[in-house]
Amino acid sequence: MKAGLVALSSILAPTVANVLVNTVAMALGTFVAASPRGAAKIWGSQRLAKLAPERRDSFVRLCRAFGILLCLAGLLLGADSIVFSN
């Protein structure tokens, strides 16, 4: 019984850690994709302030694209760690 629990915990521990990290990545990506200007003000405030007004829009679009990619990567890697866990 104890050997079975040790084997199960050695399989589930990396899966749980992966799912936790991927959930954080998805939440962060969703925040950046939903509010790219707010995320740019938080993480790139100095860069955003230094940019010319016409370049700010492209910077915000790049932040939104990064958020979408981060959310999708978290989703796909989370599904991968759940479906293909050893």
Q: Given CA atoms 58, 64, 68, 73 in this order, what sign does their dihedral have? A: positive
Could you give the number of structural domains in the chain? 1
Sign of CA dihedral 22, 27, 33, 37: negative
Q: What's the domain range around 62?
A: 2-83
> What are the residues whose beta carbons fall under 8 Å from the beta carbon of 81, sequence distance 6 or more?
14, 15, 18, 19, 22
- Average pLDDT in the 57-74 region? 92
Question: DSSP secondary-structure letter at 84?
Answer: T
Q: How far apart are CA 46 and CA 44, in angstroms?
A: 6
12-61, pLDDT tens digit by residue? 666 778 888 999 999 999 999 999 888 888 887 788 888 888 888 888 89
